[in-house]
């Protein structure tokens, strides 16, 4: 096979995000539930006759050399060389970019994860899911989740994951129109880092009692982001009239859960035109699994 087309790179939502502490090396200790949704980027891979790795789509503000897609592909290419003693064929990578940068949806990490999974298949590299997760972790803490490929209760710096059941629902997502730099949120002196540790059954039992639509816990990063970026606070306040609205990741995107697509459409019809908004269905599994 010389190509793989229409490879999905779905967004994620953090259904809650607690900061429990900070390690000596500066990394924060987190607990979260990652939820895949059916809205995201799409990547296309065409093998080359040489060993060059190229991104053939221009992305404003993202130089090719620093793009996680390219860095992930080169990392896997080097691993194949180490294991097999020869470089695999190069690849041209195109992307249909939908997810905003600085939105807390994991767009760059999802693109990198899809790249690792697709090229592992195209190059017949033979790495296991666990090996791909370990390979991707140094590039970004969210990459292992997308390779894990299902709803996950995550701990540590985000790399320790267990599958968990989450609501089969729809989400309304608002893009407030600002890009929130993750480092600025985690470095803030206003970030609390002492939320008590929860266990996976706390999350599961809460969902059963609340029927899935009143969120569990909170997003500890939200209080910082809303102070630094007022449009995020405004979007949370507006969407809060229709459900338990909160920020995903370090922001800026805001979401709430609803039971049906019709309910999502009803909310979307009322969103102020100054914001971009969309609906998405919860996914149990990463959609690329069916392609590979």
Contact 12, 35 (CB under 8 A): yes
pLDDT tens column, 128-148: 999 999 999 999 989 999 999
Query: Which one has a higher pLDDT value, 68 or 167?
Result: 68
Residue 286 has a pLDDT of 98
Question: Could you confirm whether 58 is annotated as catalytic?
Answer: no
- Beta bridge mates, 254: 174, 247
Candidate list 12, 67, 97, 279, residue with the active-site label: 12
Query: How many CA atoms are closer than 13 Å to the CA of 79, on its beta-carbon side?
Result: 20
Instruction: Name the pTM for this structure.
Output: 0.96
Residue 28 has a pLDDT of 85
Residue 211 has a pLDDT of 64
The residue whose two tokens read 């990459």 is 143
Q: How far apart are CA 210 and CA 142, in angstroms?
A: 28
Mean pLDDT of 184-200: 90
**Does the pLDDT value for residue 20 go beyond 90?**
yes
Residue 187 has a pLDDT of 87
Residue 209 has a pLDDT of 79
User: How remote is the C-alpha of 164 from its chain's centroid?
Assistant: 17
What mean pLDDT is reported for the chain?
Answer: 94
pLDDT tens column, 97-126: 999 999 999 999 999 999 999 999 999 999
Q: How far apart are CA 249 and CA 15, in angstroms?
A: 9
pLDDT band at 22 (very low <50, low <70, confident <90, very high): confident
Closest CA to 220 of 242, 241, 251, 180: 251
Q: Which domains does the chain have, with CATH numbers?
A: 3-163 (3.30.230.10), 170-283 (3.30.70.890)
Residue 215 has a pLDDT of 86
The DSSP element (H or E) to which 159 belongs, if any, is none
Q: How far apart are CA 255 and CA 269, in angstroms?
A: 15
**Does the pLDDT value for residue 213 go beyond 70?**
no
Question: Could you confirm whether 142 is annotated as catalytic?
Answer: yes
pLDDT tens column, 35-70: 999 999 999 999 999 999 999 999 998 999 999 999
Q: What are all long-range contacts of 133-137, with beta carbons under 8 Å and residues at least 24 apart?
A: 133/159, 135/75, 135/76, 135/79, 136/72, 136/75, 136/112
Of 47-61, 132-146, 167-181, 207-221, the poorest mean pLDDT is in: 207-221
Closest CA to 45 of 5, 1, 73: 5
Mean pLDDT of 221-241: 96
Candidate list 41, 67, 111, 142, residue with the active-site label: 142
Mean pLDDT of 176-187: 91
pLDDT band at 264 (very low <50, low <70, confident <90, very high): very high
Q: How far lies 164's CA from each of 35, 195, 281, 285, 288, in Å?
A: 10, 21, 17, 12, 20
**Does the pLDDT value for residue 179 go beyond 70?**
yes
pLDDT over 90 percentage in the chain: 85
């Amino acid at each position: 096979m010389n190509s793989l087309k229409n490879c999905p790179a779905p967004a994620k939502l953090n259904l809650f995000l607690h900061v429990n502490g900070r390690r000596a090396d500066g990394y924060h200790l987190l607990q979260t539930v990652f939820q895949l949704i059916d809205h995201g980027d799409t990547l296309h891979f065409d093998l080359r006759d040489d060993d060059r790795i190229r991104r053939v789509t221009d992305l404003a503000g993202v130089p090719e050399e620093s793009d996680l897609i390219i860095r992930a592909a080169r990392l896997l290419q080097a691993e194949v060389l180490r294991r097999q003693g020869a470089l695999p064929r190069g690849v041209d990578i195109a992307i249909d970019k939908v997810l905003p940068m600085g939105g807390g949806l994991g767009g760059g990490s999802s693109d990198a994860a899809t790249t690792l999974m697709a090229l592992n298949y195209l190059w017949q590299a033979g790495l296991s899911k666990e090996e791909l997760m370990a390979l991707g972790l140094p590039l970004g803490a969210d990459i292992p989740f997308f390779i894990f490929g299902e709803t996950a209760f995550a701990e540590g710096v985000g790399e320790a994951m267990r599958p968990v059941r989450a609501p089969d629902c729809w989400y309304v997502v608002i893009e407030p129109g600002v890009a929130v730099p993750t480092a600025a949120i985690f470095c803030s002196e206003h970030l609390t880092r002492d939320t008590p540790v929860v266990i996976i059954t706390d999350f599961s039992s809460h969902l059963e009692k609340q029927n899935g639509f009143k969120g569990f816990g909170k997003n500890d990063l939200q209080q910082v982001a809303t102070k630094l970026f007022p449009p995020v606070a405004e979007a949370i306040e507006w969407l809060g009239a229709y459900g338990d609205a909160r920020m995903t990741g370090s922001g800026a995107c805001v979401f709430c859960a609803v039971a049906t697509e019709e309910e999502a459409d009803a909310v979307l019809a009322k969103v102020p035109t100054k914001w971009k908004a969309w609906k998405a269905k919860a996914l149990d599994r990463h959609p690329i699994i069916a392609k590979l």
